């Protein structure tokens, strides 16, 4: 295959597939972001969904409880901004590189054309180099570290950024209590 044909095919594929990858459906979640609270002293890390950010404390839903954590006991807050981490990016890159490389190698073998040689391997290598750079970028953008004293920067990541409505039981919000406020306890 001539280089011009390959270039045209690559550009056509980019135009057809590219926007679908970049402009996917909006997936705005009503839930808070996943956070990890790193303690100042020898306390344990708290990981879970960020429910509410108060002036001097945060509420985090872990697997089995809602934890109220004073911000003065926290050294750092790490917030997961999106789920496309470096590991996932590298997995998709490796898969794409292997498929492209394999299909090009098979195609070149059947074409019996001179100069095709190890073209599939070179394309696979390009996938890995570019994908490795993208994976590094995705990993660094997937989470942000915030100083716990900067509550205004932390609020947008909470499920209830404006704070809980008066009378709301945070345990029922987190799905840890089955009855609504004012209803009798479930038997």
The DSSP annotation for 89-125 comes to HHHHHHHHHHHHHHHHHHHHHHHT-TT-TTHHHHHHH
Burial (0-12, 13-18, 19+ Cβ within 10 Å), 57: middle
Centre a 10 Å sphere on the Cβ of residue 103 and count the other Cβ atoms it contains: 12
pLDDT at 180: 43
58: Cβ contacts below 8 Å, ≥ 6 apart: 35, 37, 50, 51, 52, 68, 69, 71, 74, 77, 148, 154, 158
pLDDT along the chain (187 residues), means of 10: 60 55 53 87 86 87 86 90 88 92 82 71 89 89 86 88 78 56 43
CB neighbour list of residue 140: distance below 8 Å, 6 or more residues apart: 86
What pLDDT score was predicted for residue 14? 62
Give the pLDDT confidence score for residue 56 in this predicted structure. Answer: 85
pLDDT value for 181: 45
pTM score over 0.85: no
Pairing of strands 46-53, 57-61: antiparallel
Whole-angstrom distance, CA of residue 170 vs CA of residue 12: 52
- pLDDT computed for residue 88 by the predictor: 92
Alpha-carbon Rg for the chain, nearest whole angstrom, is 25
Query: 2: number of CA atoms within 13 Å, CB side?
Result: 3
The Cα–Cα gap between 11 and 18 comes to 10
């Amino acid at each position: 295959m001539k280089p011009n044909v390959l270039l045209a095919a690559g550009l056509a594929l980019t135009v057809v597939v590219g926007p679908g990858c970049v402009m996917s459906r909006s997936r705005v979640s009503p839930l808070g972001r996943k956070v990890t609270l790193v303690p100042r002293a020898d306390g344990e890390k708290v990981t879970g969904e960020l429910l509410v950010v108060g002036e001097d404390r945060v509420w985090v839903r872990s697997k089995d409880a809602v934890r109220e954590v004073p911000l003065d006991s926290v050294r750092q807050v790490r917030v997961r901004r999106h789920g496309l981490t470096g590991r996932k990016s590298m997995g998709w890159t490796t898969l794409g590189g292997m498929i492209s490389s394999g299909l090009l190698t098979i195609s070149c073998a059947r074409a019996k054309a001179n100069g095709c040689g190890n073209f599939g391997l070179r394309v696979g290598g390009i996938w890995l180099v570019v994908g490795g750079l993208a994976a590094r970028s995705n990993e660094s953008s997937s989470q942000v570290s915030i100083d716990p004293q900067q509550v205004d920067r932390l609020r947008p990541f909470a499920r209830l950024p404006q704070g809980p409505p008066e009378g709301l039981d945070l345990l029922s919000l987190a799905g840890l209590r089955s009855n609504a406020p004012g209803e009798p306890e479930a038997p």
